[in-house]
Amino acid sequence: MGSGKRTLVTAAIALVCAVTVLGAPGAAYASPERPDPRPTPSDGPATASASASASASASASDEVLESVRRKLDALYHDAAVATDAYNAAEEKAEKQSAQIVRLAREIVKGQERLADLKDRAGAAARAQYRGGGLPPEMRLWLSRDPQEFLDDAGTVRQGEHATTGLIAELTRTQEDLKQYASDAADEWKRLDANRKAKAEAKKEIEKQIAAAEELQSRLKKQELERLRKLEEQAAHQAQDAWLGSGILRDIHGRASEEGQKAVRFATDQIGKPYVWGAEGPKSYDCSGLTSQAWAAAGAPIPRTSQEQWRQLKHVDIKDMRPGDLIIYFFDASHVAMYIGDGAIVHAPRPGRTVTIAGAGSMPILGVVRPDAD
C-alpha cells in the first residue's frame, strides 16, 4: 500500500478509536492507542482491501461524529439544567438579601421606637410618683379649691390610662422586634442554603462545559466542521418535520404592543455570546435573554425557563404569536422567543451566539405568554 493510503487508513482508524472512547457514556476520555504500524503490500488484492477499509473507516467516522454530536447535546443539556438551578438560587438569594435589609431597617426603627417609649414610660412613672404619694382625701383636705382637686384627679386618671397604653405599646414593640430578629435569622439560613446551592450548580455547569470542550478538543478542524454540519442537519430535519405537520397553517396570531417591543429587544441582541448566568447587556443565557426582553417591554417575568414555564400562562401552539416564549425539553431547561413565520430567537449554548433558528428544531414542551390578559 502507498504511504498516502496507509496514512489515510491510520488517521481514519485513530479517529474511530478516539471518538468511540469519548462518545461512550461514562467512559474516561483516554487517548486512543495507535494502530499497528506494520507495513502492508502496496499492490494486488490488498490494495482493494485497503481502499474498502479506508471507505469503511470514513463511513464509520460519520457515525462516530453523530455519536459525538449526541454526547455534546447531552452535556450541554445538563449544563443548561445546572444553569437554571444557578439562576434560581441567585434570584432567591437576591430577594432574601433585600428582605434581610428590609428587616434590618425595621429592627433599627423598632429599637429607636423602643428607646423613645422607655423614656416616655420613665417620665410618666416619675410624674406619678411625685403626684401620687398622698391619699386622695388628704389631697382634698389640702386643696384650696375642691374643683381644682377634681380637675387634678381627672388628669391623674388620664395619666394612668396613658401610662397603661404606653406600656402596651412598649410590649408590642418588643414583640415586633423579637419577630423581626427571628425572621432575619430565618432569612439568613435560607440565604446561606441558596448560596451553597448556587456554588454547587456553578461546579456542575463548569464540569459539563469542560467535558464538552474536552470532547471537542480531540477533534481536528475538518472534523469539527463536519460536526457542525451534522448539528445543522439535525436541526433542519427536526424543523422540516415540525413544518411538515402543517402547524404554520394554524398559527396566525399577531404580536401585542408589548410583544413587539420584546421581539425588537431580543433580535437586537443577535450576535452576542451565550454566557451561562448572564442577562446582558453584553452576553446572555437563554432565560436571561427572554427575561430581559420582556423587562424592556415593561412586563417583568421570572428569571429562569422553569419558572417561566411554571408561572406564565400556557397557550396552544396554534394560538402562539410573536413575543410568546417556547419552552423546550421535558424538564423546561431551554427557552426561546417566537418571532413569527416558524422562527425563534434564542441564546443556544456555550460557544454560540444569540441567533435565529427554527421553532421546531428542538423538542417543544409548550408555549407561554408573558403578556396574557
Which residues are marked as active site? 286, 334, 346
What's the rounded Cα separation, in Å, for the pair 351 and 353? 7
What DSSP designation does 250 have?
Answer: G
Instruction: Give me 261's grid cell.
Output: 417591543
Distances (CA, A) of 139 to 100, 132, 136: 55, 10, 5
User: Do the Cβ atoms of 306 and 331 come closer than 8 Å?
Assistant: yes
DSSP string computed for 51-90: HHHHHHHHHHHHHHHHHHHHHHHHHHHHHHHHHHHHHHHH
Q: Tell me the backbone φ, ψ of residue 363, rounded to 5 degrees.
A: -65, 120
Helices within the chain (DSSP H only): 3-23, 45-131, 136-142, 146-217, 221-244, 257-268, 286-296, 305-311
What's the rounded Cα separation, in Å, for the pair 66 and 263? 34
What's the rounded Cα separation, in Å, for the pair 103 and 286? 34
CB atoms within 10 A of CB 94: 13
User: Do the Cβ atoms of 149 and 143 come closer than 8 Å?
Assistant: yes
What's the rounded Cα separation, in Å, for the pair 111 and 165? 18
- At position 122, the amino acid (one-letter code) is G
* Enclosing H/E stretch for 331: none
